[in-house]
Structure 1
């Protein structure tokens, strides 16, 4: 169950009491406020609160640039200019607070983005639910032969079934032992803060995660990339859909210049210029490493 009955009751109550406000609102996001968007097998993402919209980005930019922005004819043109030239400060004027339920191993990747405010569910105070992430068969894969931190071919047949059975059995056994250790029936139960060490990394945790739009875009640029681990990418994709409802103009600019764009190094740019002039450039004569050469060609495949 992605949401507990108490959480669903809280959402229903909040959505049943709309409030008048003088601050700017994003209609697309207002329609989805508090709603849980399912991710993976037991996870979700939902918006708790936000500040600002596309107009807030422009307002901040025009304060900082003064009369220099008079030549920008509309908000979309200004936002695309800011994105294209890496002017990040105006995007920091928008903030969003998310409630996320996610496996602990995904949370440990996520927390590497240290530019957010985070408050996580406390397993010292509360007992964690019996909910574990078990991959769908199509997401079980062998280690990649060419990427030390990536996946290769999908596991099939008996091999996949054996792995799934191990994951399920180990998760259940660890949780049963967790409950046994903290139980105070006929014994002095172990402290929750100690018992939690025996839980596997695929158990679900929850947190509130608040960040500004600039740093959220940085998170999405890395985690919505095709090379990111599937599990965190699933969350990034859902958050991207939320951002598109919140700041649609900024999202389009981000999609064009970051997600769908590419950045070239000086040597790569030099190779491209030579090619555009009609020169045949080989890997040996490019000045690029073998990996740089592969990645350069992958941009145009």
Structure 2
């Protein structure tokens, strides 16, 4: 179960006690407050708090007060200009705080984005729940033959069944031993901070993660990409839906220029100019390595 009964009760209590505010609010984001969006088999993301909206980005860019006489169309044009020219500071005026429940191995990838404030559930003080990420059968795949850090074709038949059984049995056996070590019935019991070392990487942890919009966009550009690992990508996809409701103009510009755009090298631009002139360009006369040329071709073909 993604949310515990205690967490559900806390959310319901908060939802039942709304308060008026004088600060700017995003109606799209307000709809996400106190809602948990389920991810994977036991995980979720939920918005705890946020600051700012599309207007706050424009306000910071203009160094003005209030909305003034600028139209929505002007605001959207300004946001697209800022995104197009990599002016990041105005986007830092917006922040979001998320409560995330995720497998430990996903958290280890996630924490590499060192531009956020994080407070994680502590297994030194508390006992972790018996909840493990077990992949769906269609996510069990062999090692990729072209990417050393990716997966290839899906496992099938008896091999897939065998792998799933190993994952389930190893997870439960490790947790059984964890419980046995920390138990104080008839023994002193091992300290929780030591017993946790025996738990597998697919056990779930939780944290609060607070980040500004500029750095969130950087996270999403990498982790919502089709090449990102599936288990972190589904979290990024869930966050994308929230951000699209929170700051629709900014997210639209991000989707267009960052997710839908391409970052081309000088050699790639030179090849495009030559192609437009009718010149035949090949990998051999492009000045690119085989890998660069393959990626360049993929961008051109979409």
Is this a same-fold pair by TM over 0.5?
Answer: yes
- Partners of 1:80 and 1:18 in 2: CA distance: 34
In structure 2, how many angstroms separate the alpha carbons of the residues matched to 1:277 and 1:180?
73
Correspondence for 2:275: 275
Residue matched to 1:230: 230
Alpha-carbon distance in structure 1 between the residues aligned to 2:26 and 2:205? 29
Task: For residues 160-188 of structure 1, give each alpha carbon's deviation from its aligned partner in whole angstroms, at most 9, with x where no partner exists.
Answer: 00000000000000000000000000011
Is 1:172 the counterpart of 2:194 in the alignment?
no
Count of residue pairs brought into register by the alignment: 296
Give me the TM-score of the superposition, normalised by structure 1. 0.97
Deviates further, 201-210 or 12-21: 12-21
Match of 2:74 in 1: 74
Deviations 1:107-134 (A, max 9, x none): 0000000000000000000000000000
The aligned residue for residue 86 of structure 1 is 86
> In 1, distance between residues paired with 2:30 and 2:285?
55
What does 1:91-110 align with in structure 2 at a 5 Å threshold?
A: 91-110=91-110
CA distance in 1, matches of 2:213, 2:223: 15
Question: Does the CA contact (< 8 Å) of 1:24 and 1:52 recur in 2?
Answer: yes
| SS of aligned partner of 1:300 | helix
CA positional deviation for 1:63: 1.0
* Structure 2 alignment gaps of length 5 or more: 65-69
Unaligned ranges ≥5, structure 1: 65-69
Give the 5 Å matches for 1:1-301: 1-63=1-63, 74-301=74-301
How far apart, CA to CA, are the structure 1 residues paired with 2:285 and 2:71?
Answer: 44
Q: TM-score, normalized by length of structure 2?
A: 0.97
CA distance in 2, matches of 1:14, 1:245: 21
Are the aligned partners of 1:42 and 1:133 in contact in 2 as well (CA < 8 Å)?
A: yes
1:72 CA drift (Å): 10
Partner of 2:67: none
Q: Is the 8 Å Cα contact of residues 72 and 78 (structure 1) preserved in structure 2?
A: no
| Runs of 4+ more than 4 Å apart | 70-73
Partner of 1:67: none
C-alpha distance in 2 between matches for 1:103 and 1:295: 31
Measure the CA separation in 1 of the matches of 2:249 and 2:15: 26
SS state of the match for residue 55, structure 1?
A: helix
Structure 2 counterpart SS, 1:76: helix
Kindly report the root-mean-square deviation, in angstroms, between the aligned alpha carbons of the 2 structures. 1.3
Q: Deviations over 1:185-210 (max 9, x none)?
A: 00110000000000000000000000
- Give the C-alpha shift of residue 34 in structure 1: 1.7
